[in-house]
Amino acid sequence: MEPPRSGDLNYLWWLALAGAGGLLLYLLAPILTPFLLAAILAYVCNPLVVRMHKRKVGRAFAAALVLLLLFIAFIVMLLILLPLLVKQVRTMAEQAPLYIDWLKNIVGPWVERVFGIQLEVGFVRDWVAEHMAEIRGLAAKLLPSLKSGGLALVAFFVNLVLVPMVLFYFLRDWDKLVVLIDEAIPRRWHDQAVTILREIDEVLGQFLRGQLLVMLLMGVFYTLGLWLAGLDYALSVGMIAGLVTFVPYLGFIIGVSLATLTGLLQFHEFTPLIWVWVVFVSGNLLEGYVLVPGVVGERIGLHPVAVIFALLAFGQLFGFFGVLLALPASAALLVWLRLVRNKYLVSDVYKSG
pTM: 0.65
**Amino acid in position 241:** A
Number of domains in the chain: 1
| CA dist., res. 328 & res. 314, Å (int) | 11
State the CB neighbour count (10 A cutoff) for residue 230.
13
Tell me the average pLDDT across 45-58.
89
Residue 286 lies in a domain: no
Residue 268 lies in a domain: no
Residue 328 lies in a domain: no
State the CB neighbour count (10 A cutoff) for residue 211.
21
Residue 5 is classified by DSSP as P
The CA R_g of the chain, rounded to the nearest whole Å, is 26
Q: Report which secondary-structure segment, H or E, holds 205.
A: helix 187-228
pLDDT tens digits, residue range 237-291? Answer: 888 888 888 776 777 888 888 888 888 777 777 788 889 899 999 988 888 777 7
**Amino acid in position 48:** L
Q: Among 146, 291, 142, 162, which residue's Cα sits nearest to residue 216?
A: 291
Helix (H/G/I), strand (E/B), else coil: 83: helix
Query: In the predicted model, what is the mean pLDDT of the chain?
Result: 75
> In the chain, how many H helices and how many E strands?
14, 0
Residue 131 is classified by DSSP as T
pLDDT tens digits, residue range 157-199? Answer: 666 788 889 999 999 999 898 889 888 887 887 887 788 788 7
Q: Among 214, 209, 202, 212, which residue's Cα sits nearest to residue 332?
A: 202
Domain that holds residue 62: 32-122+162-184
Q: What distance, in Å, lies between the first and last C-alpha atoms of the chain?
A: 31
Tell me the average pLDDT across 331-335.
75
Q: How many residues does the chain have?
A: 353
CA 184 to chain centroid, in Å, comes to: 31
Helix (H/G/I), strand (E/B), else coil: 204: helix
